[in-house]
Amino acid sequence: MVLPVVLSVIVDRKWYVVLSARDVGLAYGKTVALAGASVTVAEGSVVALIGASGSGKSSLLYCLAGLLTPDTGEIRFDGVLLNGLSEDDRSDLRRKDFGFVFQFAELVPELTLRQNIALPLELNRWRRSARKQRVDELLEQLDIHQQADRRPVQVSGGQAQRAAVARAIAHRPRMLFADEPTGALDSVNGAIVLESLLQLAKVNRTSVVLVTHDRAIARRADEVVEMRDGRMVGSE
Ligand SMILES: Nc1ncnc2c1ncn2[C@@H]1O[C@H](COP(=O)(O)OP(=O)(O)OP(=O)(O)O)[C@@H](O)[C@H]1O
Closest ligand 1 atom to residue 55 Cα is 21
What distance in Å separates the CA atoms of residue 25 and residue 32, rounded to the nearest whole number?
A: 8
Ligand 1 centre to CA of 214 (Å) is: 17
Whether residue 4 is predicted with pLDDT greater than 60 in this model: the reply is no
Measured from CB, residues less than 6 Å from any atom of ligand 1 are 28, 31, 33, 51, 53-59, 213
* Closest by Cα among 51, 90, 82 to 210: 51
Helix (H/G/I), strand (E/B), else coil: 38: strand
Ligand 1 centre to CA of 191 (Å) is: 26
Ligand 1 centre to CA of 224 (Å) is: 20
Chain segment 29-54, per-residue pLDDT in tens = 999 999 999 999 999 999 999 999 99
- Mutational test site, ligand 1, from 26, 49, 53, max ligand atoms within 8 Å of CB: 53
Ligand 1 centre to CA of 135 (Å) is: 35
pTM to 2 decimal places? 0.91
Chain segment 148-207, per-residue pLDDT in tens = 999 999 999 999 999 999 999 999 999 999 999 998 888 888 998 899 899 988 988 899
Residue 104: pLDDT band with limits 50, 70, 90: confident
Closest ligand 1 atom to residue 230 Cα is 14
Amino acid at 71: D
> Which CATH number does the domain 16-232 belong to among 3.40.50.2000, 3.40.470.10, 3.40.630.30, 3.40.50.300?
3.40.50.300
Ligand 1 centre to CA of 220 (Å) is: 24
Whether residue 232 is predicted with pLDDT greater than 90 in this model: the reply is yes
Ligand 1 centre to CA of 58 (Å) is: 7
**Hey, whose CA ends up nearest to atom 28 of ligand 1?**
54
Whether residue 236 is predicted with pLDDT greater than 90 in this model: the reply is no
What backbone torsions phi and psi does residue 56 show, to the nearest 5 degrees? 110, 10
* Closest by Cα among 151, 214, 205 to 183: 214
- Mutational test site, ligand 1, from 49, 55, 215, 217, max ligand atoms within 8 Å of CB: 55
Secondary structure element (H or E) that encloses residue 102, with its range: none
Count of other CB atoms within 10 angstroms of residue 33: 24
